Amino acid sequence: MSSPTARRILLIDDDRLQHALVHGFVGRFRGGPWELEVAADYATGLKKLLSGKYSVCLLDYRLGQRDGLELLREARQAENSTPVVFLTADASEETDDAAMEAGAMDYLVKGELNPRILEHAIRYARKLGETMGQLKLLATRDALTGLHNRREFDRMVADECQRAARFGHPFALVMADIDFFKKINDTHGHQVGDEVLKHVASLLAGQLRVVDRIARYGGEEFAILMVETDRKSAVEGMHRLFALLAETPCQPEGTDLTLNVTLSAGLAVMPDDAAACSELIALSDKALYAAKHAGRNRVVTAHSLKA
Ligand SMILES: [Mg+2]
């Protein structure tokens, strides 16, 4: 993804005259140069918008047979983070409400446009988009490790459960916990404990595919969601991770410590082990508990507990 400060505008509009008009306006902006890129139809526009390459998007309300609102809703479902300003042919309170409801930052009436109004709207939308992005980061990420937090992870698991139910795709959920973490904290202090958490988090994140999701689920507990993954592949993935952990001890900065860190993990898969989300989480927890009891530094599957 390019820098969020790049001054790049995406215009999605099916009207060539509008392209030329906006181009002329952008050329007369006072606050320095902006790049303008144009998409003339719904599909191209949506694809470009979701590329995340633009700092702001101007979106036409009427796109041939289709509707800018629909595009905006679809973009939001795909977690679009680019701020969008609506362009409409006429002002109406209904359009205004609908645009706001769909997640637009602002809406401008085409006939009232001039360079000053457009530049102003773009600057505000961009600033607001940045602020909202920072708020979202605060609300969805764990501050220490940068991983997803528990609330965000629960949301992603619920989404994945729905997808699994609809399309029959399997996925795996792993709950993993650092072994003897309390002892690390008690012996070396909380700062070293934090370093160990960051160490494990970065190894986990480095090992996963981009489609997988990982969270700091609790104090020293991590949760991993592996999409399109059956039990066998998930267990293999965890074994690779354990091997990596074993060969990469944690060496906290500013200390001469070398700490060997191990994990215990419980693994359950959808739909083989569970039919519902809550059941899946409970089963992985139970398997994690069994891994601790069996001597730690291992992965236990929910499946193996059923026998
Ligand atoms: Mg149009």
172 and 131 within one domain: no
For ligand 1, the distance from its centroid to the CA atom of residue 244, given in whole angstroms, is: 54
Give me the pLDDT at residue 4, please.
Answer: 44
Give me the pLDDT at residue 287, please.
Answer: 98
199 and 114 within one domain: no
For ligand 1, the distance from its centroid to the CA atom of residue 138, given in whole angstroms, is: 37
We report the CATH number of the domain holding residue 26 as: 3.40.50.2300
For ligand 1, the distance from its centroid to the CA atom of residue 62, given in whole angstroms, is: 4
For ligand 1, the distance from its centroid to the CA atom of residue 75, given in whole angstroms, is: 18
Of the residues 85, 103, 138, which one is the last residue of a structural domain? Answer: 138
262 and 154 within one domain: yes
Task: Please report whether residue 143 resides in a domain.
Answer: no
For ligand 1, the distance from its centroid to the CA atom of residue 18, given in whole angstroms, is: 9
Give me the pLDDT at residue 55, please.
Answer: 94
Of the residues 104, 138, 172, which one is the last residue of a structural domain? Answer: 138
Task: Please report whether residue 102 resides in a domain.
Answer: yes
Establish how many alpha carbons lie within 13 A of residue 278's alpha carbon, considering only the half-sphere containing its beta carbon. 0
173 and 120 within one domain: no
Give me the pLDDT at residue 32, please.
Answer: 84
The mean pLDDT values, 10 residues at a time, for the chain of 307 residues are 68 95 95 94 96 95 89 90 91 85 90 95 94 91 96 94 88 97 96 96 90 94 95 95 96 94 97 92 97 97 91
174 and 52 within one domain: no
For ligand 1, the distance from its centroid to the CA atom of residue 41, given in whole angstroms, is: 9
For ligand 1, the distance from its centroid to the CA atom of residue 71, given in whole angstroms, is: 13
161 and 88 within one domain: no
282 and 260 within one domain: yes
Give me the pLDDT at residue 9, please.
Answer: 97
Give me the pLDDT at residue 275, please.
Answer: 87
Give me the pLDDT at residue 171, please.
Answer: 95
For ligand 1, the distance from its centroid to the CA atom of residue 81, given in whole angstroms, is: 23
For ligand 1, the distance from its centroid to the CA atom of residue 99, given in whole angstroms, is: 15
Q: How many domains does the chain divide into? A: 2
Torsion of CA 99, 102, 105, 111, to 10 degrees: -20
Give me the pLDDT at residue 2, please.
Answer: 45
Q: Identify the domain containing residue 117 by its residue range.
A: 8-138
